Amino acid sequence: MKRIVNVVNTDSINLYGSRFSVGALYDGLFEECFKGVPILMAHDSSRIIGWSRLFSLYFEPGLTRLVGIGELAENDDDFKQLRSLYLHHLHRPFEGCQTEINELTGELQKHLSGPRKECPELCVNGIPYNG
């Protein structure tokens, strides 16, 4: 994989009109520094192109940047590894919720027909559903 230094976010107003505080950037740094975050093509969740591990806040007058070391895929093996990381990343928020998921599935079972599909698996381009 090719390594790059990338700016993940800043405290200036972004294209969507949102602004993150320096505190939010700091919290993001320590929440994701060991796990990393996906690098997506144009924020499209079906087109993962790399993985970034956050490592620093860069301060200058009037601007703070959240900086990471990014790894960009260069071949098919790299893309396979990225898809695996991304699938795990998508499932991470649900890891502590299995009891609630089972309870909800039980409640909805009489209203469902056909095989059950989990959305995070279907959101990742190139990962077949094995259900």
Domain-wise residue ranges, the chain: 2-91+119-123
Q: What is the pLDDT of residues 46-105, one digit of tens each?
A: 788 999 999 999 999 999 999 999 999 999 999 988 888 888 887 776 677 778 878 888
> Can you say whether the dihedral through the CA atoms of 93, 100, 123, 43 is positive or negative?
negative
Pairing of strands 37-40, 2-10: unpaired
Taking a C-beta distance cutoff of 8 angstroms, is the pair 107, 101 a contact? Answer: no
Indicate yes or no: pTM above 0.75. no
Which residues 6+ apart lie within 8 Å of 11 measured at CB?
19, 20, 21, 22, 25, 63, 64
What value does the mean pLDDT of the chain take?
Answer: 83
Question: What is the predicted pLDDT for the residue at 118?
Answer: 63
Quick one: 114 exposed, middle or buried, by C-beta within 10 A (0-12, 13-18, 19+)? exposed
Q: Is 113 helix (H, G, I), strand (E, B) or coil?
A: coil
